[in-house]
Copies of this chain bind each other. A is one copy, B any other.
Amino acid sequence: MDSRNGPASETPLDAEIESFFDSAPPLKDSAGIIKKLKEFIEFNSTPPGKGSPRRVVCVTSGGTTVPLEQRCVRFIDNFSSGNRGATSTEYFIKAGYAVIFLYRRGSFQPYCQSLPEDLLLECFECSDDSTIQVHQPHTEAVKRAVRDHHAAVAGGQLLKLPFTTIFEYLQMLQSIAMSMRDLGSHAVFYLAAAVSDFYVPWESMAEHKIQSASGPLDMRLVQVPKMLLALKKEWAPMAFCISFKLETDSNILLEKAEMAREKYRMHMVVANELSTRKEEVTVVTGNERILVCRDKTRADSDVEEPLIELIVSRHSAYVKDSGL
């Protein structure tokens, strides 16, 4: 169950990962999470009234935080609204996949993106007879959010698991990957979360709030070990893996995406630039670079629709090739 007890041939990477997990504060209700995962995967292996088992995708979404103090008052956060992960989840569900949605608390949720920020104030009103009504311009969006969200969860096609810190995220990703291992090539990882590159190891962290009285604050953060290699090598070796590369500088983006694909043996890397990421992305896969754009003739189109279509088709080819 645990990569710490993995193969004896310890590379420097294994040692780094071991040290990260050893020093991480233990995940709360780890047994409960593993139980939920097991039930979800079993249910989707033999969904009621369906002939064939559903493929399962783990979609990660939102940014991770790095605590700077053990009793956490301050932390470093990686910006990500979670819009990509939430929207992609809807298209995966539509395509028949079961989705394990590993999301940052407070980030965007599937089926809710078109709702206003101040939901209760802007969408609802209390009429004279004290019933709750939905404001006219938002009626359809609210109905869709409630109906589709419920249908996905009640139908056993959507399991939502929240995280906040980098420690929670990586421990949960490991549990999910281990649970999905037996699905072989039917398992997909769509790693859209913005994972911190740097962290402060738990033991070297201040126990109490850092005091501000004594001049400037100097901090040393160390690199988070690259878990993608462990995912590919040990946790779920047969899974189809898609990772993301976000840069603000388009000059280095594709090169870095290509490097990531080779280094971590991803099947696809989705390269996105911060300012244009809602219009287009470039998918780097094998020796191809595929530009994926949203349908600009439709105002309400998004880039996730053609992106998930491409991924589903490549995943199908991968399942076929792997002969399972």
Chain A residues close to B by CB (< 8 Å): 65, 68-69, 71-79, 105-106, 109, 111-112, 115, 117-121, 124-126, 130, 132, 134, 142-143, 145-147, 149-150, 153, 160, 194, 196-198, 207-209, 212, 215-223, 246-249, 274-275
On whether the beta carbons of A220 and B217 are closer than 8 Å, the reply is yes
On whether the beta carbons of B248 and A71 are closer than 8 Å, the reply is yes
In Å, the complex CA distance between A219 and B126 comes to 50
On whether the beta carbons of B223 and A198 are closer than 8 Å, the reply is no
Which of B112, B130, B132, B222 meets A120, CB within 8 Å?
B112
On whether the beta carbons of B209 and A249 are closer than 8 Å, the reply is yes
Which of B74, B132, B215 meets A76, CB within 8 Å?
B74
Which residues of chain B come closer than 8 Å to A207, judged between CB atoms?
248
Which residues of chain B come closer than 8 Å to A72, judged between CB atoms?
79
Give 15 CB contacts A-B under 8 Å: A71-B275, A73-B274, A74-B77, A75-B76, A119-B120, A120-B142, A121-B149, A124-B146, A130-B143, A132-B143, A208-B248, A209-B248, A216-B223, A217-B220, A218-B220
Once A73-B248, A77-B65 are accepted as A-B contacts, the answer to whether A197 and B212 lie under 8 Å apart by CB is yes
Question: Could you tell me the distance in whole angstroms from the C-beta of A126 to the nearest C-beta in chain B?
Answer: 4
Chain A contact residues: over half helix, strand or loop, or mixed? mixed
On whether the beta carbons of B223 and A71 are closer than 8 Å, the reply is no
On whether the beta carbons of A216 and B198 are closer than 8 Å, the reply is yes
On whether the beta carbons of A218 and B219 are closer than 8 Å, the reply is yes
On whether the beta carbons of B134 and A120 are closer than 8 Å, the reply is no
On whether the beta carbons of A209 and B120 are closer than 8 Å, the reply is no
Which residues of chain B come closer than 8 Å to A124, judged between CB atoms?
142, 146
Which residues of chain B come closer than 8 Å to A249, judged between CB atoms?
208-209
